[in-house]
A and B are shown apart, each in its own frame.
Chain A
Amino acid sequence: MRILLGATLALLAAAAMAAEVAPEQRRSGYDFASPQVRAMQDDDTANPGMLWVSGGESLWTKKAGLAALSCGDCHGDARTSMKGVAVRYPAFDATLGRPIDLEQRINLCRTEHQRAGPFGREGEDLLALTAFVANKSRGLPVAVNESPELKPFSELGDKLFHRREGQLNLSCSQCHDDNWGKRLAGNVIPQGHPTGYPVYRLEWQSLGSLQRRLHNCMTGARADPYEYGAPEMVALELYLMERARGMKIETPAVRP
């Protein structure tokens, strides 16, 4: 409790700073991880996230729904068709009139084109397919669209990132802009760039989405997290991707 209070006071003291991370200072969570965790991520034969990627590969060719179509029937070879897709999500969906993230895009394909039921959020199948698709963009720089219709949503994300919330009255920015590199209890505070999602987190003993990570942070600040897939969650994802523009996709990343 004393540690938590100390950390909170330290954060409150730094609150006046509130400056964004300068482009040349941006660092992936990978750089803050231990050499052992980095080695695990770097080697596909040891990276447990690859279990989900290989699961996604089998889902890609599996026919589903009333239309009896597989992802591959429309999109062909994922190595070419899905290359560079994850770098531009969340993307604007004209029909819905709002941005959707990669998971929602996959579920739209399922319900509209395959005419199958949507995968459950954070379920094994959706994580596997998302990891498989995002893995095809590994090494490519984040490049979300700068279209004017996305602007109000990234502004909402920006606002949510800087808004204090929860019983601890903390904003995302207070940790990830003002105090990255320092420690919160035993853990190094990263800058919060979403470049490796879905990510294999040792604490979870599993793969998880960016929204699961956001849930964790919100619960940590003792705030009531938004529902999975909520517009606020997608707006935050969009803002985080803009903030990480140009950084390289690492999916599946490994984090402590």
Chain B
Amino acid sequence: MPRVLINLPERATRGEIIEIRTLIQHPMETGYRLDGNGARIPRDIINRFACTYNGEEVFRAELFPAIAANPFIAFSTIATRSGELIFSWTGDDGQTQIESRHIIVE
């Protein structure tokens, strides 16, 4: 299970623009490198990241092989009401890592 760091304010006022920062541990193997024996190392990257806020998608990104290992993604959204933010990172292997964080909006 990859390690994930998510930073967002615990509390916000309604209508406030909040910044959300995410880091995930992932090799982002490009598929272009060769191993010690000259065999191609298969591509293994996170190709999609998405964030939903109370079920509504507020941010989505496509990732490509030129993106460095352990991708850092920062974005902002407007605090509308208290609830759950769900973060998902989907890899080439089809596996999705899902994390959630709660925010209180007053």
- Please list the residues of chain A having a beta carbon within 8 angstroms of any beta carbon in chain B: 45-46, 48, 50-52, 54-55, 202, 205-206
Give the residue name and chain of the A residue nearest to B69 (CB): A205
Docked-complex contact B70 and A50, CB < 8 angstroms: no
A52 to B21, CA, bound (A): 17
- Please give me the 9 A-B residue pairs with the lowest Cβ-Cβ distance, nearest first: A205-B69, A45-B7, A48-B70, A45-B21, A51-B3, A51-B25, A55-B3, A46-B72, A50-B5
- Main SS class of interface, A: mixed
Shortest beta-carbon distance from B73 to chain A in Å: 11
Among A50, A51, A206, the one with the most B-chain Cβ atoms within 10 Å of its Cβ is: A51
A252 to B25, CA, bound (A): 15
Give the residue name and chain of the B residue nearest to A40 (CB): B72
Residue B27 CB within 8 A of the other chain = yes
Docked-complex contact A51 and B5, CB < 8 angstroms: yes
Among B23, B28, B68, B72, the one with the most A-chain Cβ atoms within 10 Å of its Cβ is: B23
Among B28, B68, B70, the one with the most A-chain Cβ atoms within 10 Å of its Cβ is: B70
- Interface 0/1 of B20-61, CB less than 8 Å to A: 010111011000000000000000000000000000000000
Docked-complex contact A206 and B69, CB < 8 angstroms: yes
Q: Beyond the given A51-B5, A51-B70, A205-B68, could you list 13 further A-B residue pairs with CB under 8 A, ordered by the A residue number?
A: A45-B5, A45-B7, A45-B23, A48-B23, A48-B70, A51-B3, A51-B25, A54-B5, A55-B3, A55-B25, A205-B70, A206-B69, A206-B70
Give the residue name and chain of the B residue nearest to A204 (CB): B69
How many B residues touch the partner, as a band?
10 to 19
Give the residue name and chain of the A residue nearest to B25 (CB): A51
User: Which residues of chain A come closer than 8 Å to B28, judged between CB atoms?
Assistant: 205
| 11 A–B contacts, CB within 8 A, in A order | A45-B5, A46-B23, A46-B74, A48-B25, A48-B72, A50-B5, A51-B5, A51-B70, A55-B3, A205-B28, A205-B69
A202 to B3, CA, bound (A): 18
A54 to B5, CA, bound (A): 8
A205 to B45, CA, bound (A): 14
Shortest beta-carbon distance from B51 to chain A in Å: 16
Docked-complex contact B3 and A205, CB < 8 angstroms: no
User: Which residues of chain A come closer than 8 Å to B24, judged between CB atoms?
Assistant: 51
Give the residue name and chain of the B residue nearest to A200 (CB): B70
User: Which residues of chain B come closer than 8 Å to A51, judged between CB atoms?
Assistant: 3-5, 23-25, 70
Shortest beta-carbon distance from A130 to chain B in Å: 15
Shortest beta-carbon distance from B37 to chain A in Å: 19
- Interface 0/1 of B62-86, CB less than 8 Å to A: 0000001110101000000000000
| 9-25 of chain B: CB within 8 A of chain A | 21, 23-25
